[in-house]
Chains A and B, each alone.
Chain A
Amino acid sequence: MVSRRHLWVALALTIGAAPAKAETIEVTIDKVVFSPAKIEAKVGDTIKWVNKDVFAHTATVNGGWEVMIPPKQAASLMVKKAESVDYFCRFHPNMKGHVTVTSP
């Protein structure tokens, strides 16, 4: 009974708090460049990379997350922890970006 109530509270918090605030931050990839190169996000936000190139790219953090971004498609990542990290494209390491994720 108690656990059930907790469940409802948790559910209410999830529906009420987090999704309402979560935003999507868009990064465009065009001609082998991440733009904007530096972005800021809050835990729970989604970063969406829109690839306008005919080339496959990645957004890769050394020892961390990696997102594959196929040619002419978009790919997203929900950021789960506060961190300030450089990322790059594993196929073209001259493509660089930076994400600062803060606690909401």
Chain B
Amino acid sequence: MFIRSTTALAAFFLLSAAPLSQAADKPTDPQIAHIAYTAGVLDVEAAKQALQKSKNKEVVDFAKDMVRDHEAVNKQALDLVKKLKVTPEDNPTSKALTKAAAEERAKLAKLKGAAFDKAYVASEVAYHKQVNGALETLLIPSAGNAELKSLLETGLKIFQGHEQHAEHVAGMLK
């Protein structure tokens, strides 16, 4: 009787508590894939705005690097979700990222020349910091699939490189 009720209790927790708490704080793999992909697309859009507006060689080169790397990461992400038969799922984090990026683009659109360059590069430093923080503390630890986790880990190293690269460019613009 005691054993049975313990088992029942354990089963209850497994069925009800765990999935609920997971849904509340931990993103699922389809959501993680969506967040990572969205973060990449948004940085490519930011870079394309910089390519249209900037005449500074360092800034233009940096923006080209962002387009090239983020498109390469996202191609790998698309190949992986296809292979895993996972459909990326939109979620509040992706929506919040998209909204914030649209606001940033609107803000940057009003700037010109050196003021634009500085603001774009500063925003790139902040953006990569934010995304890298999310990857390290939430997305990588939450990823269930080993291949997805590995791709996110490689992505993190690439984006940490971008953060340092952006900091370097910011230093040159001073």
**Interface on A for B, CB 8 Å cutoff?**
31-33, 53-56, 71, 89-95
Contact A32 B157 (CB under 8 A): yes
Contact B161 A32 (CB under 8 A): yes
- Number of interchain pairs (Cβ within 8 Å): 40
Contact B165 A92 (CB under 8 A): yes
Contact A31 B154 (CB under 8 A): yes
**B94 beta carbon closer than 8 Å to chain A:** no
| Interface hits, B72-123 → A, CB 8 Å | 72, 75-76
**B160 beta carbon closer than 8 Å to chain A:** yes
Closest to B76 in A: A54
A19 to B68, CA, bound (A): 38
A-chain residues with CB within 8 Å of residue B72 when the two chains form the complex: 54-55, 71
A71 to B158, CA, bound (A): 13
Assuming A31-B157, A55-B158, A56-B68, is B75 touching A94 (CB within 8 A)?
no
Contact B75 A95 (CB under 8 A): no
B-chain residues with CB within 8 Å of residue A33 when the two chains form the complex: 157
Assuming A32-B154, A55-B69, A56-B68, is B76 touching A92 (CB within 8 A)?
no
Closest to A32 in B: B157
B-chain residues with CB within 8 Å of residue A90 when the two chains form the complex: 165
